[in-house]
Chains A and B, each alone.
Chain A
Amino acid sequence: MSNREQEYRELFMAEALEYYDAMSRHISELERNPADEEALRELFRLMHNLKSNARAMGYTSIGEAAHHMETVFGQLRDGQATFTGSMVPVLFGGIDTLGELIRAVGEEQALPDVQRLLDNLDRISRGEEPDLEGEEADDDEDVSRKLELSDLVYIQVRKLDHLMNLMGELIIDRDRILTLSREIDHPALTTAAAHFSRIAEELQYSVMDARLVGVGSLFSKFPRVVRDVASTEGKEVNLTLQGEDIQIDRNILQIITDALLHLVRNAIGHGLETAAEREAAGKPAQGQITLSAQAERDDVLVQVQDDGRGIDVASVRRKAVERGLVTRAAAAQLPDAAVRAFLFEPGFSMAKEVTEISGRGVGLDVVKLAIDSLGGQLRVDSVLGEGTTFTLVLPTSIAVKGALLFELDERSYALPLMHTDSVVSLLPDRFSVVGGVLLTRLQGENVPVVSLRELLQLEGDQVLAPARKATLHGRQDIIIVNYNNRRLGLIVDRFLRQQDIVVKAMSKPLDTIDLFGGVTLLGSGQVCLVLDVPALTRLFLAKRP
């Protein structure tokens, strides 16, 4: 069998099983409401498709059965007959038979004889009574009938995110266990830890794999965008899509959506010349934009390419000096690539005229921030007069965590939601001091509370000073964290918001400070430290008065 035949066969099977499921569903609806027009229309359409496809594949008996079924459902749809009486078991049986036929084709077995079904369907379409003798024998077969379930499941992204978060926690614990097993150095433990570590890693890759989608699911939205923008801008544009089947994490695709939209709009609005300008420059009137994706080791490269006027490096250089981003002398020595990178500086926009589409104020810095937040890179290459290419280098997978953002000493911090129990805002009279530790009663439980500022400011062997209620003024914003069923309240300056963040590992050499699980970049480009609740809890236990 040639590749193409094989492909057709697989497509046929997948679609036929899908049709069969839908038919079974619709005929049950019909049983409840015999006049259900929607169900009748769908049954007719599904029979019709199955017939056409089966005939194209040369599966004559499926084609014949579906054709006869289609005829009867056509009559029902057109009101020439009613779904009632003796035709009901025949039609139910017909759909069952179609299921058997499809399965037989799938397993490359001989197809059962369908003549009796065809005869009965003919009788029904002529308005005669079907021959139902021997139907009970068929019913016996029903007991052993296999239920066909689709090989595909649809799953909410939320569930995948949760799985990914749990995975992140598991990996952290795995690292702890590995460290412990090295310290304890017991052969059985070492073996078990190594095995656990391998499984955890494989699990991690499987979870990451389950989140991958084709880049095409985003690219496919662009023909429409390009058409609209081009017509508003009065330009002639042809869009080419490439590499739509490259796989990438669904959330990464979500995060780059606006960035890609911006780049494509820019390319049409500022990159491409008008038809008249292009012709004057000896180019075809129609501008070309290519949106492409390719895999490069663990990264995905997404490119937006235009054959427009290109970036005038001299003009960018001049503007960078005007804006005070670089001295005139230094600018003169910068290589072109470094000059083009100024385009990504906040508020640095090269467009002379503000157009409706590209908008005002929003520059490439926004695109850059989105890519940065993913731990990716943004590059630009350009040849004056020939065009510009923006390249987004993206990781294939990321871990996104829900986090609570709060402020302490005018800086933003994040706490993973996974370890956050609740947030409360309490007046001083809700606290008591026991053994130098601040306590508050929440849901019938005494929860220790500590000022996060004091905890973070401890140096060396210092321990926390005994708490005094007198130091509390006004409402206290408190985040109750939970680690190993141990609750701890952290007093912060102010709650900010809840947000999904991408945690980047702490870069060397500060990666040895275990109080921070990593950092995240906020939309503003601000660096935000992500606190590690287990380490924070351990610190409190070690340092309490």
Chain B
Amino acid sequence: MPNSEKATAPDPLIQLIVFRLGQEEYGIRIEQVKEVTLTPEIARMPKTPSFVKGIANLRGDIITVVDLEERFQLREAAEVAEEAAAHTYTMAIEAKDYTIGVVVREVPQPLSVPQSAIEQTPDFIQEANIHDKYIEGIARVGDRIIVVLDMLKLLTPSEIMQLTAPAAS
């Protein structure tokens, strides 16, 4: 990068894992992603909201797997129909004191962006379907717009379970 030769403080690069939800591109800081794997067999958990796909055995760890497209209703009707056929990938994400799996339909890709490319307080936030409290910023890379999510906020137990149907009795 040409400006790296300048004497001023360098613009640090941020490593993101970029994935697609619905028609939009989202990113997570690479430190929060433990691994990406083909989605393992998932056991559906009764009494959980439908976006919680269930639990899976990921190398001996039992993790909860969630579908964020379903959580934020980002999926187009046409895609829902073909969903069953395609196999998916699961990003294992380190939340505060547990690991959680996030299902995506295309292989997530690593991408480095300069810190300065991430706008901390974007004004077009309304365009995103995801509530701004989960959004760390918006990265502009060429003509791509990537919504950088704060997974730690998104994946707290209360966030995940808040939509749970009230438990019996």
Q: Which residues of A contact B129 (CB under 8 A)?
A: none
Q: A456–B56 contact, CB under 8 A?
A: no
A320–B36 Cα distance when bound, in Å, is 15
Mask: chain B, 51-91; 1 = CB below 8 Å from A; 0 = not: 01001110111111000000000000000000000000000
Q: Which residues of A contact B161 (CB under 8 A)?
A: 509-510, 512
Mask: chain A, 363-386; 1 = CB below 8 Å from B; 0 = not: 000001001100111100000000
Q: Which residues of A contact B117 (CB under 8 A)?
A: none
Report which residue of A456, A507, A538 has the largest number of chain B beta carbons within 10 angstroms of its beta carbon: A507
Query: Shortest distance in angstroms between B45's beta carbon and chain A's nearest beta carbon?
Result: 6
Stretch binding the partner chain, chosen from A191-199, A351-359, A473-481, A513-521: A513-521
Q: Which residues of B contact A368 (CB under 8 A)?
A: 59-60
Whether B123 is near chain A, meaning CB under 8 Å from some CB there, is no
Query: Shortest distance in angstroms between A391's beta carbon and chain B's nearest beta carbon?
Result: 14
A341–B35 Cα distance when bound, in Å, is 13
Whether B48 is near chain A, meaning CB under 8 Å from some CB there, is yes
Query: Shortest distance in angstroms between B92's beta carbon and chain A's nearest beta carbon?
Result: 12
Q: Please tell me the number of chain B residues within 8 Å of chain A, measured between CB atoms.
A: 32
Q: B63–A375 contact, CB under 8 A?
A: no
**CB within 8 A of B48: which of A344, A372, A510?**
A510
CB-CB under 8 A for A528 and B48, given A509-B98, A510-B55, A543-B168: no
Q: Which residues of A contact B167 (CB under 8 A)?
A: 512-514
Q: Which residues of A contact B107 (CB under 8 A)?
A: 327
Whether A136 is near chain B, meaning CB under 8 Å from some CB there, is no
Mask: chain A, 518-545; 1 = CB below 8 Å from B; 0 = not: 0101000111110000000011001100
A376–B160 Cα distance when bound, in Å, is 27
Whether A58 is near chain B, meaning CB under 8 Å from some CB there, is no
Query: Shortest distance in angstroms between A166's beta carbon and chain B's nearest beta carbon?
Result: 25
Q: Which residues of A contact B98 (CB under 8 A)?
A: 507-509
**CB within 8 A of B45: which of A375, A510, A539?**
A510
Q: Which residues of A contact B97 (CB under 8 A)?
A: 508
A308–B150 Cα distance when bound, in Å, is 46
**CB within 8 A of B46: which of A377, A457, A508?**
A457
Q: B157–A456 contact, CB under 8 A?
A: no
B159 nearest in chain A by CB position: A509
Q: Which residues of B contact A510 (CB under 8 A)?
A: 45, 48, 52, 55, 64, 161
A515–B164 Cα distance when bound, in Å, is 14
Whether A458 is near chain B, meaning CB under 8 Å from some CB there, is yes
CB-CB under 8 A for A519 and B62, given A509-B160, A510-B52, A529-B45: yes
Query: Shortest distance in angstroms between B21's beta carbon and chain A's nearest beta carbon?
Result: 20
**CB within 8 A of B157: which of A327, A509, A519?**
A509
Whether A162 is near chain B, meaning CB under 8 Å from some CB there, is no
Q: Which residues of A contact B168 (CB under 8 A)?
A: 458, 515, 538-539, 542-543
Within 8 A of A (CB), among B148-166: 155-157, 160-161, 165-166
Whether A461 is near chain B, meaning CB under 8 Å from some CB there, is yes
CB-CB under 8 A for A507 and B41, given A512-B161, A527-B57: no
**CB within 8 A of A507: which of B52, B61, B156, B165?**
B61
Query: Shortest distance in angstroms between A452's beta carbon and chain B's nearest beta carbon?
Result: 10
A451–B66 Cα distance when bound, in Å, is 28
Whether A504 is near chain B, meaning CB under 8 Å from some CB there, is yes
A527 nearest in chain B by CB position: B43
Q: Which residues of A contact B4 (CB under 8 A)?
A: none
CB-CB under 8 A for A529 and B169, given A508-B157, A510-B48: no
Q: B165–A527 contact, CB under 8 A?
A: no
Q: A507–B59 contact, CB under 8 A?
A: no
A371 nearest in chain B by CB position: B60
Q: A527–B56 contact, CB under 8 A?
A: yes
Within 8 A of A (CB), among B118-142: none
A509–B95 Cα distance when bound, in Å, is 10
A543 nearest in chain B by CB position: B168
Q: Which residues of A contact B155 (CB under 8 A)?
A: 509
**CB within 8 A of B57: which of A506, A508, A521, A529?**
A521
Q: Which residues of B contact A85 (CB under 8 A)?
A: none
Q: Which residues of A contact B99 (CB under 8 A)?
A: 507
A226–B169 Cα distance when bound, in Å, is 59
Q: Which residues of B contact A371 (CB under 8 A)?
A: 60
**Selected A-B contacts with CB under 8 Å, 5 pairs:** A521-B57, A527-B62, A529-B45, A539-B169, A542-B169
Beyond known contacts A457-B46, A526-B43, A538-B168: 16 more, CB 8 A cutoff: A368-B59, A371-B60, A372-B59, A375-B60, A456-B46, A456-B47, A460-B165, A461-B166, A506-B55, A510-B45, A510-B55, A521-B62, A527-B41, A529-B55, A542-B169, A543-B168
